[in-house]
Structure 1
């Protein structure tokens, strides 16, 4: 089944900008029609769709709110129906709010977990069910974070949710393998995107002494890894968690012994 896998239709959530937009374009370059979702930036989503069409592929666009759990499945199913099928699903929707653990209101905790974990579960399950029913195999990729591996002060809810999403992907890999469906996670480090007020050119101009590659990453670099995991060539990769962080996670012991003050305690 996996040897015959030939992806033609993909959905990328939160593909109105940043990693999601770069991923949609990378999958279009690989020959896929793409379902694009947006939450608050419809103009950005339409720009992504234009880029997909410029690459000779079809694009369909819809609004998507991963916190509206009773609507998630209908949105994913609707996009897949418009595309005609679903071979690749990339869960990219997510966000964080910086706040000390002792000050996180329960409502904010629940909204963050709903967006980053509950909504992801609903979308991933919907996509997987369609792939199993179709019987043609599939590729499922969840964008997590380096903080699914290491914590960061001030992001308790986000980090708890990303740890959960990473574990969910591993369990999905175990259960879906018999259907020729792979499930993998991609964990970006610091990436220069519009959300951080920067773009890919800024990454080359920004020095990061604590990162082995000495700069932030680019959305296109994350998208390239996702595109590989979405391809037929990744047929024997499942349950993996790919960090795309310039080596950031390798610096734990060095950071612990070389920080000169307590500034990191404040995020």
Structure 2
């Protein structure tokens, strides 16, 4: 990609304080986009935003809060418009993974997962799309799915359900938004090395052993796929899902 591929673009990225969301925001800014970054943790988010801004390129602005809150979502869109004049890219990267046995799963963690993963993604897409329609210049929306939306994974019934739902949402929005030149796609990461997953000391070696490509993914692998799907090169791709898992879902070897 050229270093200024996203110059003039204004993106919103949730879950951007660390991990995949941070890498996506960083790459967008390095390629010239201005980015409104969101994370629940205000200190983590400010540090992440400052770090990206120090690299040069586009400007990032931190807006902390719960990505499942509709009021917060609207404030992200408002900040993008008030600060940069428009919204052209919206990436719902925030997500909660709460493991639990199906027969014992409680209402509170279920609602937390639904609020961020589904409600937050749905309404970020809606509020960003409203602005894109007003602008009459098109745009790109991307949801962060998961291989667990395709393959059964122990103790992730609620989480997997949300990820499968996001992929169908992207397909459905083709009907709603294509006339406005807005693309909607999903990326489904497999095992990915992040601050959270590396808390498990066996994670890296386990997934290297059972992934056909011989390693777990990294945040750059996923961000590269995301940037492609929100770039001009993919303007005729919509309603699609791109799995980034080193071939794991083709064989589906259990880590357990």
Please indicate, yes or no, whether the TM-score normalized by the shorter chain is above 0.5: yes
Q: Does the alignment pair 1:161 with 2:162?
A: yes
Q: Does the alignment pair 1:222 with 2:242?
A: no
Determine the C-alpha separation between the residues in 2 that align with 1:244 and 1:21.
Answer: 17
CA-CA distance at 1:112 after TM superposition: 1.0
Give the match for residue 231 of structure 2.
Answer: 231
Moved more, 5-14 or 234-243: 5-14
Higher relative contact order (CA 8 A, sep 6+): 1
Give the match for residue 88 of structure 1.
Answer: 89
1:19/1:223 contact within 8 Å kept: yes
Query: Tell me, what secondary structure is at the counterpart of 2:176?
Result: helix
1:7/1:88 contact within 8 Å kept: no
What per-residue deviation string (whole Å, max 9, x for no partner) do you get for residues 235-266 of structure 1? Answer: 111111000111110003xx4xxx7xxx94xx
1:118/1:215 CA distance change after superposition, 3 Å: same
Query: Tell me, what secondary structure is at the counterpart of 1:194?
Result: coil
1:19/1:222 contact within 8 Å kept: yes
Give the match for residue 136 of structure 1.
Answer: 137
Determine the C-alpha separation between the residues in 1 that align with 2:46 and 2:250.
Answer: 35
What per-residue deviation string (whole Å, max 9, x for no partner) do you get for residues 120-177 of structure 1? Answer: 1111100111111101110111111111111211011111111111111111123211
Moved more, 46-55 or 86-95: 46-55
CA-CA distance at 1:187 after TM superposition: 0.4
The runs of 4+ residues in structure 1 deviating greater than 6 Å are none
2:190/2:244 contact within 8 Å kept: yes
Query: Tell me, what secondary structure is at the counterpart of 1:159?
Result: helix
TM-score w.r.t. the length of structure 1 is: 0.86
Query: Tell me, what secondary structure is at the counterpart of 2:61?
Result: strand
Determine the C-alpha separation between the residues in 1 that align with 2:244 and 2:163.
Answer: 15
Question: Which consecutive unaligned segments of at least 5 residues does structure 2 have?
Answer: 1-5
CA-CA distance at 1:80 after TM superposition: 3.5
Give the match for residue 3 of structure 2.
Answer: none
After superposition, residues 222-261 of structure 1 pair within 5 angstroms as 222-252=222-252, 255=253
Q: Does the alignment pair 1:124 with 2:128?
A: no
Give the match for residue 67 of structure 1.
Answer: 68
Which of 1 and 2 has greater Rg?
1
What per-residue deviation string (whole Å, max 9, x for no partner) do you get for residues 10-51 of structure 1? Answer: 111111111011101111122111111111252344334431
Determine the C-alpha separation between the residues in 2 that align with 1:150 and 1:104.
Answer: 19
Count of aligned positions: 248
2:91/2:142 contact within 8 Å kept: yes
1:142/1:45 CA distance change after superposition, 3 Å: farther
| CA RMSD after TM alignment | 2.2
TM-score w.r.t. the length of structure 2 is: 0.89
